[in-house]
Structure 1
């Protein structure tokens, strides 16, 4: 598989949870500097870019609190894993978005805040196959990487990713659970 040339910024705690196989689902809205239409799934393969900016412990479910930490290397980015999108849903009903809360790291209230952010009522749910890198890729954080954006171009890089943290059967089980919850949750 070719190395990705893009990284997706996500709170460090969520990047860790994905890299450890504790979750496989992200609920995304996008940053304040996103395009007019907001976050879009522009890439199907990318590196996880852990960010500490705006990470809010109160918006994480309690079981993920042990993963909270200070930035281990300020001024550098430690990219821990390769992620591949294996499922994506644009969720346009808040009740459906909240029904996914226990499948990922955010609290239901945090999902609601993201859902309503900027008066655009929707979020994306991304099911990811995550493969930790054999060693984290460490890059200097440049001014072009800063800001509230989701996607960060990295240029040409080479990474060595290991086996997925969750097997195909587990990911398929999570996909089936997501689809069942989205289908059976009545809109408000």
Structure 2
């Protein structure tokens, strides 16, 4: 999948989630996994934290487009483009009585090898952005989705969301 639907963590400002960085590492989380919120074909990917205290960062994401979606009808139409169910999108849309979500289209490239760090207290909490020590990026492999497919997906999202 190349689209991430975000509302924001409970520790974020009143304005909620904003895209603070154009490039970021994908941070795996095991705390908030809820199989009911994940579309059936992706539920098998959910798993328990294999190594508590160790953080394995698998990939680099680069922002291609950001959409602030303020229509519930359009928000639930994002279901086929990402892993959440329409019901989960609807719950996030209405969370904190602020009717909107962000849809972030990302170009994803695996880290080769994945970056492995010791998890620190500063990395924990319900936030969208976690600062990491500088100079930790390992090698980056080729992008997961071909560029032509990614650009076609952007055009489709532009038509749906703008």
- Pair 1:83-2:61 in alignment: yes
Query: Where does residue 13 of structure 2 map in the other structure?
Result: 35
Query: Where does residue 155 of structure 2 map in the other structure?
Result: 176
Query: If the length of structure 1 is used for normalisation, what is the TM-score?
Result: 0.83
The alignment yields a C-alpha RMSD, in angstroms, of 0.9
Query: Where does residue 34 of structure 2 map in the other structure?
Result: 56
* Superimposed CA distance per residue, residues 71-92 of structure 1 (whole angstroms, 9 cap, x where no aligned partner): 1111111000000000110000
- 1:43-122 correspondence to structure 2 within 5 Å: 43-122=21-100
Q: Distance in 2 between matches of 1:182 and 1:79?
A: 30
The secondary structure found in structure 1 opposite 2:139 is coil
> Does structure 2 retain, via aligned residues, the 8 Å contact 1:99–1:182?
no
Q: How many residues align?
A: 161
The secondary structure found in structure 2 opposite 1:27 is strand
* Superimposed CA distance per residue, residues 136-167 of structure 1 (whole angstroms, 9 cap, x where no aligned partner): 11111111111100100002123211000011
- Pair 1:137-2:115 in alignment: yes
* Superimposed CA distance per residue, residues 19-63 of structure 1 (whole angstroms, 9 cap, x where no aligned partner): xxxx00001001100112100000000000000011110000000
Unpaired stretches in structure 2, ≥5 consecutive residues: none
* Superimposed CA distance per residue, residues 160-185 of structure 1 (whole angstroms, 9 cap, x where no aligned partner): 110000111000111111122225xx
The secondary structure found in structure 2 opposite 1:65 is helix
Unpaired stretches in structure 1, ≥5 consecutive residues: 1-22, 184-188
- The Cα of 1:104 is off from its aligned counterpart by 0.5
Query: If the length of structure 2 is used for normalisation, what is the TM-score?
Result: 0.97
Q: Distance in 1 between matches of 2:76 and 2:103?
A: 11
Query: Where does residue 142 of structure 2 map in the other structure?
Result: 163
Q: Distance in 1 between matches of 2:137 and 2:82?
A: 29
